[in-house]
Amino acid sequence: MKDALRVLLIGSAGRMGQAIVEAAKGDSGIDIIGLVDQGDPLEPAISPCEVAIDFSHAEAMAEISRAAVEHSKALVIGTTGQTPEQDAIIKECAKTIPIVKASNFSVGVNALFWLTEKAAQLVGPDFDLEIVEMHHRMKKDAPSGTAMTLLEILQRQRKIEKATHGRQGNVGERPSGEIGVHAIRGGDVVGDHTVIFAGAGERLELTHRAASRTTFAKGALRAASWIIAQPPGLYSMQDVLGLSRAE
């Protein structure tokens, strides 16, 4: 019988950390051998694990990535809101260790990413593009990491750089060369994301609504099980699910 995967969970006291702990209880292939949160020492905890899962804070990204490289550990990053400098550190570390970095580990959301790319290709440039996301009132970053991934997909497909984050005042007519992004906060909403393709006489909307963090937690554990067999590199959840190879 194959031994359970030894996992270090960083950010264990947060909402996602707690969800991962619960999800792991029902997975015989996962053994969470260490829990680290803000203020806890990382070095002694990372040594005995095979893979570290991080859902902490972007500010800790440099320390976590470098510790994973020093101890030759695979890494799953679910923390969002990194600066370009922090992203550069992750990319550099991925030359030495395998890393999965994802703004969302849900299978459904990653299907949304794939469908958004295909829809942008199909409807063409005459459709206006808008992204709307809603999360619980405690979420600190805006727009969400998932919304930013959707934005990047649309920008890549349309070759558009401009993003308008909300609108206020007399902004004039909407130019065709922009993508609108809108963040809503309230209540205990786990995460809703909608991509709107608005054309003349018709509108296409792609929506994903998350009712529980369990789906994200299971996805992160799936990524951890997948990444340990991969060579060094920076991977996405699309790679984990095989969607990057889908036509």
Positions annotated as catalytic residues are 135, 139
Contact 64, 9 (CB under 8 A): no
Q: What are phi and psi of 230, to 5 degrees?
A: -100, 155
Find, among 53, 102, 91, the residue nearest to 73 by Cα: 53
Q: What are phi and psi of 140, to 5 degrees?
A: -95, -35
Q: CA dihedral in degrees (186, 106, 146, 160; nearest 10)?
A: -140
201 φψ region: left (φ > 0), alpha (ψ -120 to 50), beta (else): left
Contact 69, 52 (CB under 8 A): no
Q: Would you call 212 helix, strand, or coil by DSSP?
A: coil
DSSP state at residue 57: -
How open is the CA angle 87-209-52, to the nearest 5 degrees? 35
Q: Which residues, in sequence order, are bridge partners of residue 203?
A: 198
